[in-house]
Chains A and B, each alone.
Chain A
Amino acid sequence: MGIKHLHRNIYLSVCLSVCLSVCLSVCTSAPESPRKFDCRSREKETFSCWWEPGSDGGLPTEYRLFYTQERLREVRECPDYVSAGANSCFFDKKHTSIWAEYTMTVVATNALGNASEEFRITDVMEYVKPDPPVNVTVVVNSSAPSPFLEIRWKSPPDVDVRTGWVTLKYELRVKQNDSKEWKVIDIGSETFFNFYNVYPGLLYMVQVRCKLDHGKWSEWSNTIFAEIPKNHQLEKYFWIFVFVFSLVPFLMAMYIVLLKRNAVKQCLLPPVPGPKIKGLNAHLLKSGRSEDVVNALMGNQNFPPVAAWTEQVEDFLLVSDSDEWLLTDSFASEKNKDIFIIPAGLHLGLEIQRRDLSVDLNTWEKTDDSKEEAKSNFSNMEPINLPVEKHEFLNGEEKSIQPLASTSYVDIQQHPTLTDYSRVKEVNDNTILILNEEEIPHGLDAEEVKSEVSVPDDYSRVKEVNSDVVFLEKGDSADGCCKKKEDHYTDWTNQNKGFCLKMIASGYVDSGPAFSVK
């Protein structure tokens, strides 16, 4: 029995131990080697390093750091595992050597084994990164001429600048509260700066950082805010100044205006000439006697202008072949302002008929009103009277006729012309003067004719267009008055219809009904 028990116990213990060992190997393991090694020195006198532990294998693992220095042959262990936090090593002043190479070995150990990793620090100076500057103060200095920011700070603690062991260089940045861009300024080794690019009424943010011996920059310090007060006083002074300075010229201007008010009045408000009626007395009006007023306004009721007008009309002497066109004064006066058509076709037809015989000088005018009259007149082949100052011709004055605008009055130009009326064949109403070429002796007078009324022998061109008078020159029928419209009138000789369209200053001749000349 005892032996059986013994065997059983042995068997059980062996089983347990085997199970345990199996269990342990499955659940736990040796630790992994640590990774990622980094160090930092704050002031070029001490430094600390951190590592990242690997997997610990499920068992409590211990980490140890061993290092060797460039000069020292011996291997030392980390003097301080605590001060810099977990998984770190802090090297104090005694154990820190600048410009020396460190070879660090971090060993992770647990019950099942260990793992180690080697890290090399070429130079502690490569890991120097100071703390940001402290006691940053920003004071707004509101002295004239413009406000500015006085920025002051102190070097980070523990940094020994005094002995020259460390050289700090600072950098400053400022921005407006709502702006996105910082303005960065290099300072050098000083611990103050005056920032002038500020405007009243705005809020500014200031930050400072430093670097040690051309190493890495520190973090930016805390942001300090500063607001520039609005400069009301200066504004007040400014406006008072502007007011006083603008008041002086204003007062001077007023004084001058006052002195010369009459002249100013003349300049700005020139006197409007009042209506002056002859014989009208303003005072008379005021007195209100109607008889006098009427007399003053109406005059003597003589109507002198009308009489004069008729007199003028009566001055015209009409010369014509037939009697029918001899117009009475009333007719003339009636038609005084009318303009009559004399269709080109008519005259030209006439001309064509008598091409060899006569040279006609036609003037053209038109009104719609007078068409029918013209027609009726023309049906007789009778040119209409012209209330032209023919008598002047009879008097032998050398003048050419040029009608006045839209009236029957003809302005007579001085011309060495028309010494005799023999050339005047016909005088049509108002403005038509037809010259009879027959009577013009060729050769000698041709030139004269040319110069007279600027009517050369060759009437193919329109010589002159005055306001109401068109001087036509007749030549080849094709080149006749329709020179401009040659394309329309291809066969002038055969055609007796159609009109010339001419542009007259005051009107135009439209193509009225064609007249066929028989």
Chain B
Amino acid sequence: MQQKSEKRQLGQRRNRLRTCRTDKRTMAQRRISGGKLFITVVYLVAMCRAVPVNDLLDRASQRSDKMHSLSTLLTQEMDSHFPPYGRMQMPRPADCHTSALQTPNDKEQALQVSESDLMSLARSLLQAWVDPLAVLSTSAITLPHPSKSSISSKIQELQEHSKSLGDGLDILSGKMGPSAQAISFLPYTGGTDLGQDRVTILNKFNFLLSCLRRDSHKIDSFLKVLRCRAAKLQPELC
């Protein structure tokens, strides 16, 4: 319920912002009398109340926190009934489809990255998981695992969060500049089929979930760093 209402709010805000932008452009083009202009500008400003960036970032980081929590639970649930096949035989994290993306790996690096870049990274990672999440969702229904229904519901929840977070980040990036809106393309090449036999399917599933956990944590960390940076007026957030 909360998600849907937030979705709606984000969507409404987006529409409002779009209308604000288009209105401003048309305004700039038409320079008629100063008096009329002034009145219309004042009217538009009053209409287009911008939602504060802090608020948006706060909501976005809450959403990403929830996503990371879900992915952590998923890996734990998988491990409870299916111990890893063997750490040596498992595909390496370097084989994740998002490992090509250069991200800060410690605090100093993360604090040195600009806000726009952090936003771009977060959005890229989020976008990279849209397709794999769909694959995971379809595979979870027929997963040879005892708690597959719980896993399936968590993945669906993840998809919803991912969608709404993506919409919110689109709005945020629009406020932050063009560099924030650049998204690195990280295609998923694993295909829709996870494998034929039970062991392969479970291994692939496990591997994907571990990649997802890592990336969701990255998104969460970057957004929280952004939130604290933007909250200079409200130090109690951080």
| Interface residue ranges of A230-262 to B (CB < 8 Å) | none
Given contacts A213-B68, A214-B69, are A167 and B224 in contact (CB under 8 A)?
Answer: yes
Is A368 an interface residue, CB under 8 A from the partner?
Answer: no
Is B143 an interface residue, CB under 8 A from the partner?
Answer: no
Is A164 an interface residue, CB under 8 A from the partner?
Answer: yes
Residue interface mask B68-102, A partner, CB < 8 A = 1: 11001000000000000001100011100001000
Q: Which residues of chain B come closer than 8 Å to A123, judged between CB atoms?
A: 93, 214
How far is it, in angstroms, between the C-alpha of A259 and the C-alpha of B114 when the chains are bound?
94
A214 close to B72 (CB less than 8 A): yes
Is B221 an interface residue, CB under 8 A from the partner?
Answer: yes
| Closest A residue by C-beta to B73 | A214
B228 close to A213 (CB less than 8 A): no
A93 close to B108 (CB less than 8 A): yes
A214 close to B107 (CB less than 8 A): no
Given contacts A70-B93, A163-B225, A165-B221, are A45 and B107 in contact (CB under 8 A)?
Answer: yes
A101 close to B106 (CB less than 8 A): no
Is A417 an interface residue, CB under 8 A from the partner?
Answer: no
| Closest B residue by C-beta to A99 | B214
Is A120 an interface residue, CB under 8 A from the partner?
Answer: yes
Q: Which residues of chain A come closer than 8 Å to B110, judged between CB atoms?
A: 165
How far is it, in angstroms, between the C-alpha of A93 and the C-alpha of B105 when the chains are bound?
11
| Closest B residue by C-beta to A101 | B93
A214 close to B105 (CB less than 8 A): no
Is A427 an interface residue, CB under 8 A from the partner?
Answer: no
How far is it, in angstroms, between the C-alpha of A97 and the C-alpha of B88 when the chains are bound?
21
B107 close to A213 (CB less than 8 A): no
A100 close to B68 (CB less than 8 A): no
Give the interface SS of chain B, mostly helix, strand, loop or mixed: helix
Is A315 an interface residue, CB under 8 A from the partner?
Answer: no
How far is it, in angstroms, between the C-alpha of A98 and the C-alpha of B109 when the chains are bound?
11
Residue interface mask B109-128, A partner, CB < 8 A = 1: 01100000000000000000
How far is it, in angstroms, between the C-alpha of A120 and the C-alpha of B91 when the chains are bound?
12
Q: Which single member of A70, A96, A120, A163 contacts B106 (CB below 8 Å)?
A: A96
A122 close to B93 (CB less than 8 A): yes
Q: Which residues of chain B come closer than 8 Å to A101, judged between CB atoms?
A: 92-94
Is A161 an interface residue, CB under 8 A from the partner?
Answer: yes
Is A117 an interface residue, CB under 8 A from the partner?
Answer: no
Give the interface SS of chain A, mostly helix, strand, loop or mixed: loop
| Closest A residue by C-beta to B231 | A164
How far is it, in angstroms, between the C-alpha of A299 and the C-alpha of B51 when the chains are bound?
119
Residue interface mask A69-101, B partner, CB < 8 A = 1: 011000000000000000000000100111111
- Would you give the shortest CB distance from A129 to chain B, in whole angstroms? 14
Is B39 an interface residue, CB under 8 A from the partner?
Answer: no
Residue from the set A98, A101, A160 with the largest chain B CB neighbour count within 10 Å: A98
Residue interface mask B186-226, A partner, CB < 8 A = 1: 00000000000000000000000010001001101100111
Q: Which residues of chain B come closer than 8 Å to A125, judged between CB atoms?
A: 214, 217
Q: Which residues of chain B come closer than 8 Å to A71, judged between CB atoms?
A: 105
A99 close to B105 (CB less than 8 A): yes
B108 close to A163 (CB less than 8 A): no
A163 close to B107 (CB less than 8 A): yes
A164 close to B238 (CB less than 8 A): yes
The size class of the interface chain B forms with chain A is: 20 to 34
The size class of the interface chain A forms with chain B is: 20 to 34
Is B65 an interface residue, CB under 8 A from the partner?
Answer: yes
Residue interface mask B136-149, A partner, CB < 8 A = 1: 00000000000000
Is A4 an interface residue, CB under 8 A from the partner?
Answer: no
Q: Which residues of chain A come closer than 8 Å to B218, judged between CB atoms?
A: 99
Q: Which residues of chain B come closer than 8 Å to A44, judged between CB atoms?
A: 107
Is B21 an interface residue, CB under 8 A from the partner?
Answer: no
Q: Which residues of chain B come closer than 8 Å to A167, judged between CB atoms?
A: 65, 220, 224
How far is it, in angstroms, between the C-alpha of A93 and the C-alpha of B106 when the chains are bound?
8
| Closest B residue by C-beta to A44 | B107
- Would you give the shortest CB distance from B229 to chain A, in whole angstroms? 7
Is B227 an interface residue, CB under 8 A from the partner?
Answer: yes
Is A162 an interface residue, CB under 8 A from the partner?
Answer: yes
Q: Which single member of A93, A99, A100, A161 contacts B238 (CB below 8 Å)?
A: A161
Q: Which residues of chain B come closer than 8 Å to A122, judged between CB atoms?
A: 87, 93, 210
Residue from the set B68, B88, B93 with the largest chain A CB neighbour count within 10 Å: B93
B93 close to A213 (CB less than 8 A): no
Q: Which residues of chain B come closer than 8 Å to A99, judged between CB atoms?
A: 103, 105, 214, 217-218
Q: A71-B105, A97-B106 are in contact. List 18 more A-B contacts (CB 8 A).
A: A93-B107, A93-B108, A99-B105, A99-B214, A99-B217, A99-B218, A100-B93, A120-B87, A122-B210, A125-B214, A162-B228, A163-B107, A164-B224, A164-B229, A164-B238, A213-B217, A214-B68, A214-B72
Q: Which residues of B contact A (CB under 8 A)?
A: 65, 68-69, 72, 87-88, 92-94, 99, 103, 105-108, 110-111, 210, 214, 217-218, 220-221, 224-229, 238
28 contacting pairs across A/B (C-beta < 8 A): A45-B106, A45-B107, A70-B92, A70-B93, A71-B105, A97-B105, A99-B103, A99-B105, A99-B217, A100-B93, A100-B105, A101-B92, A101-B93, A120-B87, A122-B93, A122-B210, A125-B214, A163-B225, A163-B228, A163-B238, A164-B238, A165-B107, A165-B224, A165-B225, A167-B65, A213-B68, A213-B217, A213-B221
Q: Which residues of A contact B (CB under 8 A)?
A: 44-45, 70-71, 93, 96-101, 120, 122-123, 125, 160-165, 167, 213-214
List 10 A-B pairs, minimum CB-CB distance, nearest first: A164-B228, A97-B105, A164-B224, A164-B225, A214-B72, A101-B93, A165-B107, A120-B87, A164-B238, A70-B94
